[in-house]
């Protein structure tokens, strides 16, 4: 799946930098302001205000899970790890914390822009996949409902399973709901009023 990356809309975006006061923070702030972001600093933890930020930059060298007001890997915005020590333990932690991109320390005159775009793209892709996976999972869970609906419709007068399936699809379109939701409605209707259904058939 190839998507165009979102290049605009960085102007006015907000970023929070979670790092102890340090020249690296000043250098990063300068870059981010030049790009057009509004920047604030937080240390030793992200306050609730951070929940509204568009980006979070966090220190991977001394960071720990309790600094974030969300569960590890569940940030509601793209996150960029600021890495000084390229030690495997720290990289592992930064990944688990939910880094979407990284920037090596010391931060100098560049690097922030590509980190912002890469982080946002990775965040968008991850979110799209999460939505798609939960939708697919729901549909998988409802396979049984579809089978039941098709069986019920076939028993109620459709010529065969294929015709019952087509009938269900038409109902979904008419009701403007998903195939699975239509199946759930059919199952609810036909099992809630079994006599009626039997009468119809007879």
**Binding residues for another protein (CB under 8 A):** 22-23, 61-62, 84-90, 92, 105-106
Work out how close the CB of 91 gets to another protein at its nearest, in angstroms, rounded to a whole number: 9
User: Minimum distance between the CB of residue 59 and another protein, rounded to whole angstroms?
Assistant: 12
Instruction: Give whichever of 92 and 141 is closer to another protein, judged by the CB atom.
Output: 92
Nearer to another protein, 36 or 106 (CB): 106
If the CB atoms of residues 89 and 202 are measured against another protein, the closer one turns out to be 89
Q: What is the DSSP string of 85-119?
A: ---HHHHHHHHHHT-SEEEESSP-SSSHHHHHHHH
C-beta closer to another protein: residue 91 or 171: 91
Closest distance to another protein from the beta carbon of 42 (Å): 18
Q: Would you say the C-alpha torsion 82, 126, 32, 35 has a positive or negative sign?
A: positive
Q: Which is nearer to another protein, 87 or 128 (CB)?
A: 87
Write down the least CB distance from residue 89 to another protein, Å.
4
Do 83 and 104 meet the contact criterion of CB atoms below 8 Å apart?
yes
CB of 85 to another protein, least distance (A): 5
């Amino acid at each position: 799946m190839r998507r165009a990356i979102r290049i605009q809309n960085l102007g006015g975006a907000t970023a929070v930098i979670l790092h102890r006061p340090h020249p690296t923070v000043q250098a990063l702030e300068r870059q981010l302001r030049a790009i057009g972001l509004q920047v604030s600093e937080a240390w030793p933890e992200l306050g609730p205000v951070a929940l509204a930020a568009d980006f979070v930059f966090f220190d991977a060298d001394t960071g720990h899970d309790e600094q974030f007001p969300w569960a590890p890997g569940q940030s509601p915005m793209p996150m960029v790890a600021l890495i000084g020590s390229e030690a495997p333990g720290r990289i592992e932690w930064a990944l688990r914390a939910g880094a979407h991109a990284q920037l090596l320390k010391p931060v100098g005159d560049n690097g922030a822009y590509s980190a912002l775009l890469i982080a946002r793209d990775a965040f968008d892709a991850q979110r799209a996949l999460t939505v798609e996976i939960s939708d697919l999972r729901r549909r998988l869970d409802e396979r049984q409902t579809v089978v039941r609906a098709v069986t019920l419709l076939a028993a109620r007068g459709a010529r065969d399973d294929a015709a019952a399936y087509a009938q269900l699809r038409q109902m979904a379109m008419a009701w403007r709901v998903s195939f699975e939701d239509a199946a759930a409605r059919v199952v609810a209707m036909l099992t809630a009023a079994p006599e009626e259904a039997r009468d119809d058939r007879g």
